[in-house]
Amino acid sequence: MPGIEITDDAIVFSQSWVNTFFNCPQQAFLEMRGMLPRIESDATAIGTALHTGVEHVLRGHSLDDGETVAMHKLSELMALPKFEFKQLKTFDGIVAAFERVYWEWANEVFPSLPGPMAVEFPFDCAVDSLFDRTIRIRGAIDYVDETGGISDWKTTGSWRNWQQWEVDRFKIQPTFYSYGLMLSTDANQFADERVEFTYVVMNKSRQEHSLFTTTRGPDDWDWLRRQLRSIAKLIVAGLDEWPTRDQSALCSPKWCTAWSACKGLSYPV
């Protein structure tokens, strides 16, 4: 399913689709039109399985039960006909990487988590309007603790992909999710405060993790609202393509399923 919903009354954004837009507007356009093939990979499968197991544990089940349901999800995803190896080359390697990230979370992260306010907290909030449409944001937050802080579970194959200054300056997810939490909370209790967001990142190569904590507040939410309104204008313009860019490392035949029909036409593999 595309990470964006467009009706006569509303344009509903997910943070994943908005993040795709910032990486490559044309790729987001293709996803919006249902023209971007969905390929399950080892990277996405491990992440999905981890989320499945973690959510199961946070809802009151044992760590062993969490591993069981996560392994079932991992097996289901690896059996898909369009599954592709992107980072790891064997099924055994994928299973081993999953076990590393799951038990790192179970042994080192889970015992130190603050008490929960919500698990997989859903939000669907109006943030603006354009002509006759409401602009909305929608998503589900992995974990909201009793202090109002947000945690999100991630995996990585290399710490080179994670820098604190990039999290502080560029990551859209902390802004998107903190805004959704603020708008969804009774009396907007965070309206005049900064919300703390922590990426809990597990390493698939070694059994270790790192925390990247940042904050977002009213100025960030105002800027996001302006960004979404500008994207909404592009949507209603009805163009047959959007701007292309190749400044992201994701512009490659390895990570973009539309690459061969886009830049790949001029730059064959």
Q: Is the pLDDT of residue 105 over 60?
A: yes
- Whether 23 maps to a domain, the answer reads yes
Number of domains in the chain: 1
Does pTM surpass 0.75? yes
Q: Which residues pair with 159 in a beta bridge?
A: none
Q: Among candidates 210, 212, 214, which has minimal Cα distance to 108?
A: 210
Quote the domain boundaries for residue 109: 4-236
The mean pLDDT of 110-135, rounded to a whole number, is: 96
Q: Which residues contact 42 (CB under 8 A, 6 or more apart)?
A: 84, 85, 86, 87, 88, 93, 94, 97
- Whether 173 maps to a domain, the answer reads yes
> Which two structure tokens, joined as six digits, stand for 181?
């939490």
Q: Report pLDDT for 161.
A: 83
Q: Report pLDDT for 260.
A: 84
- Whether 80 maps to a domain, the answer reads yes
- Whether 120 maps to a domain, the answer reads yes
Distances (CA, A) of 17 to 5, 81, 84, 244: 10, 24, 21, 16
- Whether 158 maps to a domain, the answer reads yes
Residues of the chain with pLDDT > 70: what percent?
95
Residues of the chain with pLDDT > 90: what percent?
80
Amino acid letter, 12: V
- Whether 179 maps to a domain, the answer reads yes
188 pLDDT band (50/70/90 cuts)? low
- Whether 218 maps to a domain, the answer reads yes
Which CATH number belongs to the domain containing residue 214 in this structure? 3.90.320
- Whether 267 maps to a domain, the answer reads no
